[in-house]
């Protein structure tokens, strides 16, 4: 989780580097994703991507890469198999986290599906925190006759929405608990927005732009709204 948080920060804020120029040391920030121009990025979905760690060979069903970085992992169960449930897909993800943990240093979103139901969650989400994405465009909820997996792919995993979601709708926080001996335990949690939060905030952004009557940068508006505590919006320096 600590590695995942550190990588998320580099992914969304850029990576600070130094280099020599004309005998002087210079500093700069390298962006690994162009969030402002989604078409400048390369997205690739790979079926049965093989990961080998500590001589253990695993093949997640689908891994989605952005500019060569494995940001999304899908675990898909066969709907024809009565024993292949969405719970078993979740359990398989937990197995991967234990056996090939390096893959998850880079993970932004996890997807579990039994072919009909489909839910998304974060690296720290328990099973009950995985939720369905119920709208393809934010205007209305999809028909129950349409598979949740189809709605999820059309709604979240188009290029523009996915990059916007990664940039603004994923946050980390720390919670404190006590064990039986009274010792304080600090847990790092990763939270991602639900579909209604994502669409509601973006509608608020667009309404704000129209209301102020100026050609303000969308990024600036989102950062301003974040100060009012809207759900799962994180201020990001540009």
- In this predicted model, what pLDDT tens digit does every residue of 119-163 receive, in sequence order? 999 999 999 999 999 999 999 999 988 999 999 999 999 999 999
Q: Where are the beta strands (DSSP E) in 12-131?
A: 15-21, 24-30, 43-47, 51-53, 56-58, 62-66, 69-76, 109-113, 118-121
Supply the pLDDT for residue 219: 59
Supply the pLDDT for residue 226: 53
Supply the pLDDT for residue 221: 60
Cβ partners under 8 Å of residue 13, min gap 6: 29, 236, 237
Distance CA 54, CA 219 (A): 42
Q: In the predicted model, what is the mean pLDDT of residues 181-191?
A: 87
Query: Which range has the worst mean pLDDT, 33-37, 52-56, 176-180, 233-237?
Result: 233-237
């Amino acid at each position: 989780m600590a590695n995942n948080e550190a990588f998320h920060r580099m992914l969304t804020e850029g990576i600070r580097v130094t280099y020599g120029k004309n005998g002087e040391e210079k500093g700069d920030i390298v962006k690994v994703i162009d969030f402002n121009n989604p078409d400048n990025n390369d997205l690739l979905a790979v079926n049965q991507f093989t990961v080998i760690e500590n001589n253990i060979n695993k093949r997640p069903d689908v891994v989605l890469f952005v500019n060569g970085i494995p940001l999304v992992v899908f675990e898909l169960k066969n709907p024809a198999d009565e024993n292949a449930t969405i719970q078993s897909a979740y359990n398989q993800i937990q197995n991967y986290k234990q056996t090939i943990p390096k893959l998850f240093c880079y993970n932004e979103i996890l997807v579990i599906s039994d072919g009909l139901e489909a839910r998304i969650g974060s690296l720290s989400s328990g099973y009950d925190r995985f939720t369905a994405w119920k709208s393809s465009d934010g205007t209305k909820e999809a028909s129950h006759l349409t598979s949740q997996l189809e709605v999820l792919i059309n709604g979240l995993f188009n290029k523009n929405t996915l990059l916007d979601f990664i940039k603004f709708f994923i946050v980390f926080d720390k919670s404190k608990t006590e064990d039986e001996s009274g010792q304080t335990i600090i847990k790092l949690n990763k939270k991602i927005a639900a579909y209604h939060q994502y669409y509601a905030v973006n509608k608020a952004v667009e309404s704000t732009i129209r209301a102020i009557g100026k050609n303000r940068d969308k990024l600036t508006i989102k950062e301003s709204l974040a100060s009012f505590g809207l759900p799962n919006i994180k201020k990001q320096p540009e």
